[in-house]
Structure 1
Amino acid sequence: MIVIQPRQTKSSSLQCAPRGKEKNQKNSSPILTMGILFSKQVQRRIAISREKKILTDLHLNSGNEFPGFDYRPPDRKNWMSGLDPQKLRINQIVWPGTHDSATDKIGVPFITRPFGQCQTLSIYQQLVRGTRVLDIRVQEDRQVCHGILITYGIEVVIKDIKEFLAETQSEIIILEMRTEYGHQDPPEFDKYLEEQLGEFLIHQDDRVFEKTVAELLPKRIICVWKPKKADPPKAGGPLWSAGYLRDNWIDTDLPSTKFESNLQFLSEQPPVSNRKFFYRVENTVTPQADNPIVCVWPVTRRIHVHGRLFLSQCISRGCADRLQIFSTDFIDEDFVDACVGFTHARIQGKAP
């Protein structure tokens, strides 16, 4: 920012300052600025340490147990099949999801990749591991991107999804496609999605939420398309509009702040039994530009380990009946097992 100072008159007291004092003031300003920045970073590190301790103490005091906490799906690749598609309703599922799903090969290895990579597994590998909600960002040329970093084309994502669906029979996927912030919509992208996935697409219909998995088969994909300026999907069409997949994103690298805001926003949602949209909670924190640590993994690990703690707090704070999509960076088997275990408990009537 350029600031225009008022012209000084000869009578101004500033004109009378000794030359030596003026020189010392000019020389000290960079040092003063560095001192202020250093002080801010020290305070940030103190705040992060304090918030990490809050979550650690919460874990020690309340534990990670919740209905279904000890359940392990015998086959993560087919965990919906294992829970009986005839009984499993769409609104009973706690859907394990990934944040910025297609970033396993984002940017340049060892140079820009650590700043944008949120997953190390391919889309196919994530689905095999148990992921059932995918978050895909695209730009004008149908390349997948995360901010200014780009990776492979959307056809790679489509290929992986089709491969997984060909190898399974009763697994439903929520596929979120959206134009990344700062980019323009790919031309006629809705038509492209319909052409590529048409045989699998579950059409937009509020009644879907109350149906069982078996009632939706052989359709397998709920595809939510969120364009920036293009016309949104129409009611009853093969694609779902943005209002059917909602969340409340808090941009912070403070783990307890994000954890508590997730619980607060979740508690404000209608119960899944009455809701006609999917609501997502993301167990992630975000690197900040004014912090020296800007790589995703060392930042997000501050909250990554507390996925089970969040589920147990949903029970203890009375908002477990609102829980639906639970997403994370760098998804692992334990995160999937926690979501599937909670889903299993709901089917058995042991969880709200």
Structure 2
Amino acid sequence: MGSLFSKQFERRKNIKAEKKTLCDLNENCGESYPGSDYRPADRKNWMAGLGVDKVYINKIVWPGTHDSATNKIGIPFITRPFAQCQSLSVYQQLVKGTRVLDIRVNENRRVCHGVLTTYGIDVVIGDIKKFLSETQSEVIILEIRTEFGHQDPPEFEKYLEEQLGEYLIHQDEHVFGKTIAELLPKRIICVWKPSKSPRPQSGSPFWNAGHLKDNWIDTDLPSTKFDSNLKHLSEQPPASSRKFFYRVENTVTPQPDNPIVCVKPVTNRIHGYARLFITQCFTKGCADRLQIFSTDFIDEDFVDACVGLTQARVEGAC
């Protein structure tokens, strides 16, 4: 018992120290970078607002959500706090400015997070199609993966193509060097990551796991995650030259050996430091590598942070 108490005391001490590290860094370095003052007039149409003939796919800093479709997962006040990473529906996220969705499914085509499930993938598809019908030139990266420990949904590629075929941007590495205007009316880059099924090949309506990469570190320590994100990002080629998307996630996650296991209070340890992270990317000389930037519980300021840097790139300010 004493050993367990000592271990928990040490963990709380480490968390407190890491929170202070980020707080001090923020006070000393600030959150100013090219485009940091920019605020899109219309977040629902922010890509259009930048000029679709000027916005190249490899210049975009894509605001994304982690575990995007978990707003209604589990049982309210019982299991939901342990798995909910977003409070908004997929449609509401897109309206707010989100352009990368992280969707996990099981063999029954239901969205899940670990062992907990929520609504079917048809709800996600419906939200996406509603958003696309209300806009004209916003492009979405839709990542769908079979959740760990589950089987691939039967005939899932066929289902997705039936539902989204008119919008799908086919797998082609030349896409990275094109403007949004050159891709329209196609508007979805769908990355399908099955568990066992063959991965999509060149020319397919779907992109494969090799086209969306990250270096996930499972920790609830905010400064550890922040530093890991910077380290791995600095090891990537510049976004302008690579033929895949690279994601950084501004999140920390609950750990089973810590008393605090609800997502929101844990991820809040790093949530407010998205702009600091972008600032540090410039300080460390790796801002040109930043591409997909995702978060839990996305808000307008996070979207603006990404859109502002995108605007600066489009205008040649960085």
TM-score, scaled to structure 1: 0.90
For 2:209 and 2:237, locate their aligned partners in 1 and report how far apart those are by CA, in whole Å: 18
Asked whether 1:214 is paired with 2:181, we answer: yes
1:348, distance to aligned residue in structure 2 (A): 1.2
Q: Which amino acid aligns with 2:304?
A: D
Name the aligned partner's letter for residue 275 of structure 1.
Answer: R
Q: Amino acid of the residue matched to residue 38 of structure 1?
A: F
Task: Measure the CA separation in 1 of the matches of 2:92 and 2:48.
Answer: 18
Matches within 5 A, 1:339-350: 339-350=306-317
Secondary structure (helix, strand or coil) at the match of 2:307 reads helix
Is 1:281 aligned to residue 243 of structure 2?
no
Which runs of no fewer than 5 residues in structure 2 stay unpaired?
Answer: none
SS at match of 1:135: strand
User: Residue 50 in 1 paired to residue 20 in 2?
Assistant: no
Matches within 5 A, 1:274-313: 274-313=241-280
Write the mapping of 1:259-278 to structure 2, written as runs, cut at 5 A. 259-278=226-245
Structure 2 counterpart of 1:214, one-letter code: A
Aligned partners of 2:88 and 2:64: how far apart in 1?
13
What's the secondary structure of 1:272's corresponding residue?
Answer: coil
- The alignment yields a C-alpha RMSD, in angstroms, of 0.4
Q: Which residue identity does 1:152 align to in structure 2?
A: Y
Question: What are structure 1's unaligned runs of at least 5 residues?
Answer: 1-33
Deviation digits for residues 158-181 of structure 1 (CA, Å, limit 9, x no counterpart): 000000000000100000000001
Q: What SS is found at the alignment partner of 2:240?
A: helix
Equivalent residue, structure 1, for 2:93: 126
SS of the aligned residue for 2:141 comes to: strand
Aligned residues: 318
Deviates more, 1:183-192 or 1:150-159: 183-192
Which of residues 192, 205, 224 is equivalent to 1:225?
Answer: 192
Q: Give the number of the structure with larger relative contact order, counting CA–CA contacts within 8 Å between residues 6 or more apart.
A: 2
What TM-score comes out, normalization by structure 2 length? 1.00
Tell me, in whole angstroms, the C-alpha distance in 1 between the residues paired with 2:251 and 2:200: 29
| Per-residue deviation, 1:349 | 1.1
Determine if the alignment matches structure 1 residue 105 to structure 2 residue 72. Answer: yes
- d(CA) in 1 for partners of 2:242 and 2:59? 11
Tell me the alpha carbon deviations over residues 61-109 of structure 1, each in whole angstroms, 9 at most, x when there is no partner: 1101110000000000000000000010000000000000000000000
1:69 to 9, 31, 36: 36
Provide the rounded CA distance (Å) in 2 between the counterparts of 1:128 and 1:138: 23
1:244 paired with 2:248, answer: no
Q: Which has the larger radius of gyration?
A: 1
More displaced 10-residue stretch of structure 1: 188-197 or 114-123: 188-197
State the partner residue of 2:83. Answer: 116
- Post-superposition, which runs of at least 4 consecutive aligned residues in structure 1 deviate over 4 A? none
Secondary structure (helix, strand or coil) at the match of 1:274 reads coil
Secondary structure of the structure 1 residue equivalent to 2:174: helix
Which amino acid is 2:218 matched to? Answer: D
1:151 is the counterpart of 2:151: no
